[in-house]
Amino acid sequence: MEQQEKDWLIELLDITEKELTPKQAKIVQAAIEVFSEKGFAAASTNEIAKRAGVAEGTIFRHYKTKKDLLISIVLPVIYKFAVPFLAEKFLNEIFQKENLDTMDGLLRKLIKNRYEFVKNNVPLIKILLQEIAYHSEIQETFKQVFVEKVMPRYKMAVEHFRKTENLAAFPAETMLRLTISTILGFLVTRFIILPDYTWDDEKEIEYTIQFIRNGLKGND
């Protein structure tokens, strides 16, 4: 079971960087840049080709349409962002290791983990956030990953902590919504809306953790 899960994950993530021609890799990099800067609809295959240093026809040798190129870039981001919830190892650590045996520990690990991921993938996250509004393929993959993978795991964790800690009587769905809203709100503000503001990341992360922890705490 553990091995099966790992294989599935590794295979999934490998698909992304698998067997890309040097020129194709340049195309993907250029496309990420241009899509992120101008948005999918305003990005021209002409500019992508120029930035990648290839002929425009080369793009369509590897991708049937411009939209195909977008999808091949965006879908893996959804899986990668959800990885902490997908990995068996992650939940094992939560339930086993002492320092992770609190809601606080889970939150801290989660937020620091995703902070690093977003920090290293700002353009990709930006593309995902923007284009999910207009492309049903992205919406469906997103819903599928969250409904089938993230929600059940998060529910498990919540049920576990309900016994050992004093949690508010919110439904697990609401707790997930509030948790993700707060984390995503921080990351989007930090890296997309106000990246030039002088941030004390360590402190802001601590504030954010404390906010979520107290917010989800029960009244007694």
Partner DNA sequence: AATAAAAGTGAGTAATCGCTCACGTAATGA
Partner DNA sequence: TCATTACGTGAGCGATTACTCACTTTTATT
Task: Report in angstroms the alpha-carbon separations of 214 from 26, 83, 163, 187, 211.
Answer: 46, 26, 17, 20, 5
18 binds, among DNA, a second copy, none (CB under 5 to 8 A by kind): none
* Least Å from the CB of residue 7 to DNA: 25
State which residue, 31 or 118, has the beta carbon closest to DNA: 31
Closest alpha carbon to 172 in 161, 183, 185, 184: 161
Q: Which of 9, 100, 130, 151 binds a second copy (CB under 8 A)?
A: 130
Say which residue the tokens 């992205």 belong to: 138
66 binds, among DNA, a second copy, none (CB under 5 to 8 A by kind): DNA
Which range in 64-72, 112-120, 178-186, 191-199 contacts DNA by CB under 7 A? 64-72
144 binds, among a second copy, DNA, none (CB under 5 to 8 A by kind): none
Residues 149-168 that bind a second copy (CB under 8 A): 168
Q: Which of 65, 92, 99, 210 binds DNA (CB under 7 A)?
A: 65
210 binds, among a second copy, DNA, none (CB under 5 to 8 A by kind): a second copy
* Least Å from the CB of residue 10 to a second copy: 30
178 binds, among a second copy, DNA, none (CB under 5 to 8 A by kind): a second copy
* Least Å from the CB of residue 122 to a second copy: 12
Three-state SS for the chain is CHHHHHHHHHHHHHHHHCCCCHHHHHHHHHHHHHHHHHCCCCCCHHHHHHHHCCCHHHHHHHCCCHHHHHHHHHHHHHHHHHHHHHCHHHHHHHHHCHHHCCHHHHHHHHHHHHHHHHHHCHHHHHHHHHHCCCCHHHHHHHHHHHHHHHHHHHHHHHHHHHHHCCECCCCHHHHHHHHHHHHHHHHHHHHHHCCCCCCCHHHHHHHHHHHHHHHHECCC
User: How many of the other CB atoms lie within 10 Å of CB of 207?
Assistant: 12
Residues 22-61 that bind a second copy (CB under 8 A): 38-39, 41-42
The residues of the shown chain that bind DNA, judged by CB under 7 A, are 21-24, 43-47, 54-58, 60-62, 64-67
Instruction: Provide the binding-site residues for a second copy, judged by CB under 8 A.
Output: 38-39, 41-42, 126, 130, 133-134, 168, 170, 174, 177-178, 180-182, 184-186, 189, 192, 204, 207-208, 210-212, 214-217, 219
